[in-house]
A and B are shown apart, each in its own frame.
Chain A
Amino acid sequence: MSNCDVILTDVLIVGGGPAGLATAIELANSLKQKGEEKRIMLIEKGSSIGSHILSGAVIRPKVFKDLLTQEEFDGVPFDSKVSTDVTVKLNENGEIELPFHPPYMNNEGNYIASLAQVCRYLAELAEKKGVEIYTGFSVDDMLYNEDGKIVGVKTKDTGIDHNGKKLKNFQAGTVVEAGITILAEGTRGSLTKKVTERFTLDSGKNPQIYSLGVKEIWKVPEGNIEVGAVYHTFGYPLQDKSEFGGGFIYGLTDNRVALGLVVGLDYADPSFDTHAAMQIWKTHPYVSKFLDGGSLLEFGGKTLPEGGWNSIPKYYEDNLMIVGDSAGFLSTARLKGVHLAVRSGICAARTAMSAFEKGDTSKKTLSEYEERVKNSFIYKEMYPIRNMRAVMNDGMVLGGLKMGVQLVTGGTCLFVPKTIADADETQKLSDYKGVPFKERFAGKLEWDKKLTFDKVTGVYHSKAMHDEHQPIHLVINNKAQFQSSNIEEYGLTVAAACPAEVYELHIDRNSGDKSLRLHAENCVHCKTCDIKSPNGGITWTTPYGGDGPEYTNM
């Protein structure tokens, strides 16, 4: 560590999404109000703010009014106000539009937005308020003092080849020592994962469970969709009870459509492929009519923490707070997390302010963060539906019924199925008794490259790039076990699950031997592999800063 440069800061925020930026803005505002000067640094692994941001997104605007002044709020670049709001059940041959909205799904007064654009705007505000934002730097290490307490992070060393050998352009990472470190890494954060394990922050909690959303933005002919129109679909091509999820189609300005399919990663079929399901979903006439004559502009994938209140770990420690998706603040019933991310950032910032005033950043003071969350709408929204996602494993009918019971009881419900980590829900090829994905959709898995695309074409439209000269950022933890179990018994589940063709099952033509081919450079940073690989087979680590997708409006 002696060769590393050291930077000192009062607050370090890791991640430039809505949660991290809200934390920065609220804290900068509070400091200014009190006339105090503290250094706030925010570092982001994307090449710029927004380049790794992907969200639906239909946003509840109210929380931005709490964070921003009226003038600042008026400048938020929402795309359009929700005009039409329809929920529809798709069948293989047809559809039924629901005459009502499922509970929590009403979008009146909400806005459709590109979250990347909103984040770029928030970053501008934050910088004006004195927050130092550095993009294109990834962090792979938490730093601890001799008492084992968190004291900051270290950015990645660069200039290392595939085998870990230092190259001529080697650059040691920078140590950032921070009074308070705030993890705002987004879904399945790699540092969050490390600290959760080290401090057993998830003890007594349900495991976190996730969905994978595969999203595209299209340019379409005038008149294909109304600006502000919101359609949510459920049903086809997903199977009730075994696959939880649905699709979204939003009408954007400038004749663009944002659409995607979100599927819970707790499915059992080891060959289930969310990307392929999304392509098949697009061929349903109800969906394809919106895209007719259009062309694909952007593609991306992201996971969402859907476990709800019972899956949220303890989100503070000495000198540490965790905000947004990293902590699991997301309302599955509303399909929204942005407003909760922002609110958690506000709560964390106020707690940091209190810690500065007390001169104490230990968990004794930082526990106020939890109080603030419990007194905020995060609790009010998330607690009553704490069992919602779990009961949906009973399918839409029984699950829906149990959901109804919860609405009356304030979330209490008998017979709540146990929540199991997504990777553990995956069944071995030989154990899976359903019809495997490929057979279910036999004949439909050919992509016409007009409406439907293969994964690699998707990657092209995500503009993902990775430096060829770096250690592979997807770590196979136990090669022997990965071969004998993940490959042989599960048929390489992640090859199907990954939306970007990072993993490929190679079968030797002559010997029939199966092996893994890894195309790490395709990675769009969704973390599905880390979540869904059986036996904890794969750990997603951060590649060099600035690598990864280059989303513009996702």
Chain B
Amino acid sequence: MTIISLMKQVPLPSEMRMGDDGLMDRTKAKSIINIDCQYGLEAGLQIKSEYPDAKLIVCSMGPPSFTTSLENALAMGYDEAYLLSDRKLGGSDTYATGLAISHMLKHLDFGKGKDEDYIIVAGRQTSDGDTAHVPSQVAEFMGIPQGTFIETAEFIDGRVHAKRIIEGGYQMMSLPLPCAMSFTPTGIDPRRSTLSGAVKARKAEIKIFSIDDVSLTTDFIGIGVPGEGGSPTIVSKVATIKSERAPAKMAEGHNEVELVESLLAQMKEGKNTLEVKEKKAKKAKKVDDTLRRIDFRNGASGILTWAEVVKGEISRPSLELLTPARDLANSLEDGTTVTTVIIGKNVGELAKELIAHGADEVIVIDDDRLEEYRILPFSEIFSQVIAEKNPEIALFAATTAGRELAPRIGVKRGSGVTADCTQLIIGEHKHRNKETKEQVIYAPILESRRPTYGESKLATIIGFVCPQISTARAGTFEVPVRDESKEGKITAFTPILDESEFATEIIETVIGEGGMQGLFEADVIIAGGRGTTSDGMQMVKELAEALKAQGINAEWAATRVMVDEGVSEYARQIGQTGKTVRPKVYIAVGISGAVQHIAGMKESETIIAINSNAKETIFANSDFGIVGEYQDIMPELIEKVKSGFTFGLEVK
């Protein structure tokens, strides 16, 4: 058996903050193996410890400087290292990357009809790309089952037993060989290499391939050129996101009762806003009528969305998706429809719900075997639906399922995918043909916008292959208003599914014990710092419990000091070396506001600080503040919550 680890080199996270302009200087930045990929490497080494005869190889794609990280992987204990490095690969999107890597693997003699005794281990996503697409795409290009967002995996009796992290819990699954897995950075920590390993790695040869070596043509790789080829998607523009906070509104009062009352009143009023300097009105864009307009859709029409069913209900992010879907349909030709696909067991009833939320047509696939989401049959069903419906756009919620499903479908249809979008609009793209010098306009085109580089930039990504596929960040769009009177079509669809699509078994799904994944999903996070030691953060936890009792998705978290103190487990640590979160409301209790902590929570929508020292930095990073003692303020606040105050959040 061979364990193949896919790995990317990225700039050191601590250096991603460098530069006054907020831009990373990659030429100077120190590089490391992407953190998630380190967990993938470790997972491979763990499987090897159970199966000592396995060979360990590590593969990467990138510039020759990536050999540094490949050498580190060898030092960790890998046997062989390969790098696909070619200037022609520059500008490749995730689809092209998946394609190129699969070519390298096939060149190394893995694949159908070749060596089929292998496991691919990779990282969940990279810190500089953040899409989580490539493992799915490689799996589809190789034609093998996959498990993404895996925390731990064991090799037992010829199959891999893996723990997959999903919203609010986890799933135990059993995968046959060959298969691909991507690992979250929550499993077994990557080992340090040993000196003896480093000495051995220094002497080892790292084989570098060009695209010719692996029989890869430039048709679908490199920078995408409309009408010609290259990657199916390109970055069309990048804008800087300014995220300065207006000064906090400070609660006023003579005692805790008045202070908390004041906070409530101020929250009702809303936060201070920054005075935005009026930019000079942009010159109205001249529509150049003289340019040739190209409709690259070739007859593709309509918006397709997926309604994910969790425990017999349509998941909220899937309903949210109907908002941009409707807006996009409205921006396109009259008669453009929104079609939603729902897959599951006895899901027919839910179709009406989707129509009430705006779908024009619902395609229902009812099959007992599809009660739980499974990547292989689901992606195959979508491929068949797309073949039949020929939509121009397909949208998925960026849930753990959506993020692996969309790229796998993309590969089946030759489309690129844009991950985790916060804006979806219809625009146009001006393109100048290099040879003929002719300028043409590609329109209408889907502009998918997503924050990137640690939320500092907003990138617009477009694709020239239909369907144009994007995943939308959960919580970004509102759920459309329910309209019972709305009419729509419900169509049953019977896909043709091969038994091999069910090769992966789901052993069990456990919700409610998802470790600390909940922190990423919580709407309210109450974090305690040094100032909350006196009762071991008891009141911080109580506030979280009180909010939960009100039906709010709340969690408690801690600063590093509290972790050092043993008051909180490391998994709850927010900050530079802990987790980065962006809940709707972040309540910082007894936290001074060290830069290291701010780095982990500054993207929260609303920040409320409670601290006894008015001079603490935390207040400069908050929207609302109370200066007061922890012991005095918290009981008052907990009481308010118990009597219905939910920090302005809607109870679901």
Q: Which residues of A are in contact with B by a Cβ distance under 8 Å? A: 5-7, 43, 47-48, 132, 134, 136-137, 155, 158-159, 167-174, 176, 446, 449, 456-457, 459-460, 463, 465, 468-469, 506, 508-510, 517-519, 521, 544-546, 550
Task: Say whether A168 contacts B195, CB under 8 Å.
Answer: no
For the complex, is B190 an interface residue (Cβ under 8 Å from A)? yes
Residue of A nearest to B565 (CB): A517
Report Cα–Cα, A159/B595, bound state, in Å: 29
User: Cβ of B594 and Cβ of A460 under 8 Å apart?
Assistant: yes
Task: Name 6 extra pairs, CB < 8 A, besides A132-B199, A169-B188, A545-B192.
Answer: A134-B195, A170-B191, A171-B193, A174-B199, A517-B564, A517-B565
Residues in chain A near residue B14, CB distance under 8 A: 463, 465, 550
Q: How far, in Å, is B375 (CB) from chain A's closest CB?
A: 28
B605 sits at the interface (CB 8 A): no
Decide: B564 and A460 in contact? CB cutoff 8 A: no
Which residues in chain B, 524-562, are within 8 Å of chain A measured between CB atoms? 533-534, 560-561
Distance between Cα atoms of A171 and B191 in the complex (Å)? 7
Are A43 and B188 in contact, CB atoms less than 8 angstroms apart? no
How big is the B interface, by class? Answer: 20 to 34
When chains A and B are docked, how far (Å) is the Cα of A47 from the Cα of B12? 12
B226 to A: closest C-beta gap in Å: 42
B199–A134 CB distance below 8 A: yes
Chain B residues with CB under 8 Å of A469's CB are 189
Question: Residue among B14, B196, B565, B570 with the most chain A CB within 10 A?
Answer: B196
Q: Could you tell me the distance in whole angstroms from the C-beta of A203 to the nearest C-beta in chain B?
A: 33
**In-complex Cβ contact of B595 among A158, A457, A510 (8 A):** A457
Residues of A within 8 A of B534 (CB): 508-510
In the bound complex, do residue A174 and residue B192 qualify as a contact, i.e. CB atoms below 8 Å apart? Answer: no
Given A468-B577, A517-B564, A550-B14, residue A134 in contact with residue B198 (CB < 8 A) = yes
Report the separation of the CA atoms of residues A137 and B193 in the bound assembly, to the nearest whole angstrom: 9
Considering the chains assembled together, what is the distance between the CA atoms of A7 and B200 in angstroms? 10
Is B596 positioned at the interface, with any CB of A under 8 Å from its CB? yes
Q: Which residues 171-215 of B sit at the A interface, judged by CB distance below 8 A?
A: 188-199, 202
What B residues does A173 contact at CB under 8 A?
A: 194-195
Query: What is the CA–CA distance of A519 and B594 in the complex, to the nearest angstrom?
Result: 14
* Residues of A with C-beta under 8 A to B561: 517, 519
- Per-residue 0/1 for B579-599: is the Cβ within 8 Å of any A Cβ (1 yes, 0 no)? 000000000000000111000
A133 and chain B: residue at smallest CB distance? B202
Q: Is B577's CB under 8 angstroms from A169's CB? A: no
In the complex the two chains form, what is the Cα distance from A167 to B190 in whole Å? 11
Query: How distant is the Cα of A382 from the Cα of B594 in the complex, in angstroms?
Result: 44
B202: chain A residues at CB < 8 Å are: 132, 134
CB distance from B190 to the nearest CB of A (A): 7
With an 8 A cutoff between CB atoms, is B361 at the interface? no
- Look across to chain A and name the residue whose beta carbon is closest to the beta carbon of B615: A446
Contact of B570 among A5, A468, A506, A517 (CB under 8 A): A468
Checking B42, B192, B560, B577 against A158 with a beta-carbon cut-off of 8 angstroms, the contacting residue is B192
**Cα distance A393–B412 when bound, in Å?**
79
Q: A463-B14, A468-B570, A519-B561 are in contact. Are A168 and B199 (CB under 8 A)?
A: no
The 8 Å CB contact of B194, one of A174, A456, A460, A463, is A174
Given contacts A134-B199, A521-B577, A550-B30, contact A168 B46 (CB under 8 A): yes
Interfacial chain B residues near A155, Cβ < 8 Å: 194-195
Per CB-CB distance, the 6 closest pairs between chain A and chain B, nearest first, are: A5-B196, A174-B195, A169-B191, A158-B192, A174-B196, A460-B595
Taking a contact as CB atoms under 8 Å apart, the answer to whether B577 and A456 are in contact is: no
CB neighbours (8 Å) of A132 from chain B are 199, 202
Given contacts A457-B594, A545-B192, contact A7 B560 (CB under 8 A): no
Interface centre among A172, A174, A469 (most CB of B within 10 A): A174
With A460-B596, A518-B564, A519-B564 as contacts: A171 and B192 at CB distance below 8 Å: yes
Nearest opposing residue in chain A for B629, CB measure: A509
Report how far A486 CA is from B14 CA in the complex, Å. 35
Q: List 11 A-B contacts (CB under 8 A).
A: A136-B193, A155-B194, A158-B192, A171-B191, A171-B194, A174-B195, A509-B534, A517-B561, A544-B192, A546-B192, A550-B30
Q: Is B273 an interface residue (CB 8 A)?
A: no
Closest B residue to A519 by CB, please name it: B564
In the bound assembly, the distance between CA atoms of A309 and B640 in angstroms comes to 70
* Chain A proximity mask over B495-526: 1 for CB below 8 Å, otherwise 0: 00000000000000000000000000000000
Tell me the bound Cα distance from A459 to B533 in angstroms.
Answer: 23
Q: Does B439 contact A (CB under 8 A)?
A: no
Contact B194 A159 (CB under 8 A): no
Q: Render B590-616 as a binary contact track against A, CB cut-off 8 A, 1 for contact.
A: 000011100000000000000000010
Q: A456 contacts which of B196, B197, B594 (Cβ < 8 Å)?
A: B594
The residues in B between 138 and 182 inclusive whose CB is less than 8 angstroms from any CB of A are none
Q: How far is the CA of A114 from the CA of B198 in the complex (A)?
A: 28
Partner pick for A7 among B12, B191, B199, B596, CB 8 A cutoff: B199
Instruction: Name the B residues within 8 Å of A174 (CB-CB).
Output: 194-196, 199
Chain A residues near B331: list those with CB within 8 A: none
A469 to B14, CA, bound (A): 19
Q: Is the CB of A7 within 8 A of B195?
A: yes
- Say whether B189 contacts A169, CB under 8 Å: yes
Other-chain contact of B195, A137, A159, A521 (Cβ < 8 Å): A137
Alpha-carbon distance A170/B190, docked complex (angstroms): 10
Residues of chain B within 8 A of A48, CB atoms compared: 30
B188 closest partner in A (C-beta):
A168
Q: Does B400 contact A (CB under 8 A)?
A: no
CB distance from B435 to the nearest CB of A (A): 44
